[in-house]
Chains A and B, each alone.
Chain A
């Protein structure tokens, strides 16, 4: 499978715990995006990388959220001290530089109890 893959598919955690999600983009894609989606809403932009550089972060993104893409390949999204309001689907998408189409992974569904 050469699409975007995300791990884990589901994560249940207790409030206050830290969680980390991984995204493996399509191999030749330079850009990688993180979005968050809650029920009945469209995906909300969180941050994006071009190669290993994080070029933009949503101003709505709490300091508890951090993302990395250390070698310009896979990316991780960490949420520290999770809150119930963090419960959502976290979607990763990749994009080849010079094109507009986003390819999404299946997402990580986070439930904070």
Chain B
């Protein structure tokens, strides 16, 4: 089993849709959790940290479920510019990414 697993997608959604990604991790002692965004042929960039109590940044909401060992990212009111690959990171270990395509 991989240490950090994500559904590769792609998720193909219309503008304005709400989309959610999950990411599972195997190390129950994990302490740091992040979501990064990576555009095609670019470096990853931090989207948001994930806190135990959950956190929100505009249209983006991240949550952590320690009991089930997963983190989630919810994107509301999707924009065309949200099209990218979303990488979850647990203790500096990256998942393989989930690709999101937002269509007009």
Contact = CB atoms under 8 A, between A and B. Distances in A.
Q: Are both chains from one complex? A: yes
A43 interface: yes
B94 interface: yes
Contact of A41 (B43, B45, B96): B96
B92 A42 contact: no
Nearest to B92: A45
Contact of A107 (B4, B43, B94): B43
A107 B45 CA distance: 13
A28 interface: no
Interface residues of A, number: 17
Contacts of A33: 92
B93 A45 contact: yes
Nearest to B93: A45
Contact of B46 (A35, A101, A107): A101
Interface residues of B, number: 19
Contact of A104 (B6, B32, B45, B96): B45
Contacts of B6: 42
CB-based closest 8 A-B pairs:
A42-B94, A104-B43, A42-B96, A43-B94, A100-B32, A41-B96, A42-B97, A42-B87
12 contacts: A40-B8, A40-B96, A42-B6, A42-B87, A42-B97, A91-B43, A91-B44, A100-B34, A101-B34, A102-B92, A105-B43, A106-B42
